[in-house]
Amino acid sequence: MNNDFQNWASSCQARIEAFLEARLPASDCVPERLHKAMRYSVLGGGKRVRPLLSFAAGELAVADVERVTIVAAAVELIHAYSLVHDDLPCMDDDILRRGKPTCHVEFDEATALLTGDSLQTLAFELLAEKRIADAAETQLEMITQLALASGSRGMAGGQAFDLDSVGKMLSLPELEFMHIHKTGALIRAAVMLGARCSSYLRDDQLAKLDHFAKCVGLAFQVVDDLLDSEATTATLGKTAGKDAVNNKPTYVSILGVNQARELAEKLQHDAHQALNEFGDSALRLRQVADFIIKRKF
C-alpha cells in the first residue's frame, strides 16, 4: 500500500469513526447496556472497507463529503449489525470478532440481538434525517437501495442461503449467487450510495460503477475464503479455518487455492476495466479495490 493511499484511507477512517462516535447514543444514555453494546460493536475496529468505497465513489462523483459520510456510516452500521447477528449461537456461533470477544459473549444474547436491530434502524434514521442527494426522489431511491441490499433479497437472503448450504456441495454458480447476495449486495450499495450523493455522473457511468462494485464484491468474498483457509486467527482477529470445520462450501473448497487466487485476480482486472473511461478520477476506487484484493486480514 503506498503512502498516499494509506494517508487518504486513514483520513477517511478517522472521519467515519468520529461521525459514528458522535451519532451512536452515549454509553450513559438509557438503556445503558444496549448503548454500550452498540458502541462496543461499531467503534474502534474493522477495516472500514465499505466506507472507503463510498468515499472513493463520492470523490469520483465530486459529491459533498458531509453527505458521503452519512451514507458511508449507514452502510457500516448495517455491516456491523450483520456481524453481531452472524456471530450469535443460532448462526455462526463465534467468540472472536475484530480481535475481541463477540457482542453476545461480552454482553449476552438478548443484548446482541437488540444491538443488531438497533444498529440497523440507526442506519435508516441517518439516511432519512438530512439531505444526502440533490433530488428528494433520489434520496428515497437511495434508502430503498440500502433496504434491498440488506434484506431478504440481499444480505439477509444470502445469509439464509448460506445457512442452508452447510454440508452441501454447491456448484460455482450457486456459490456465486450466495455471495452476490450475502456480501456483494452491501458492497455494491456502498459504492452506489456514495456516487449518488451528487448528480454528477450520468446513468451509463453509474452502470459502469455498478459493474465495478459487483466485481469487487465477489472478489472480496473469494479473498475472504482464501484468508479463512490460509491466515491465522491472530492476524484475522476472528476465528480462522471455520469454513472447513463447519463443512461450508467456499471458493477454496470448490476451486482449490490456486484457481481461487486466479479468480480473485481476474475479478480485480475486470473491476479495473469497468473504470477505464474515468481515467485518473477513479484512482481511489482502483486503490480500494486493490486493497480489498491484496489484504492480509
Site residues (CB under 6 A) for ligand GRG? 46-47, 49, 79, 82-83, 85-86, 98, 155-156, 159, 182-183, 224
The total of other beta-carbon atoms located within 10 Å of residue 90's CB is 10
The Cα–Cα gap between 38 and 23 comes to 11
| CB-nearer residue toward ligand GRG: 33 or 100 | 100
Task: Tell the smallest beta-carbon distance from residue 71 to ligand GRG (Å).
Answer: 17
Nearest residue (beta carbon) to ligand GRG: 46
- b or e along 193-230 (b: 16 or more beta carbons within 10 Å of the residue's beta carbon)? bbbbbbeebeeeebebbebbbbbbbbbbbbbbbbbbbe
CB 217 to ligand GRG: min, Å: 10
Residue carrying the nine cell digits 475472504? 224
Q: State the number of CA atoms in the 13 A half-sphere of 14 facing the CB.
A: 6
Nearest residue (CB) to ligand GRG, 64 versus 117: 117
In this structure, are residues 16 and 76 in contact, taking their beta carbons and an 8 Å threshold? yes
Q: Which is nearer to ligand GRG, 278 or 291 (CB)?
A: 291
Which one, 49 or 122, has the nearer CB to ligand GRG? Answer: 49
Q: Is the dihedral of CA 112, 297, 58, 270 positive or negative?
A: negative
The CB-of-275 to ligand GRG minimum distance in angstroms stands at 21
What's the closest the beta carbon of residue 131 comes to ligand GRG, in angstroms?
Answer: 28
Smallest distance, ligand GRG to C-beta of residue 230, A: 15
Closest CB to ligand GRG among residues 102, 139: 102
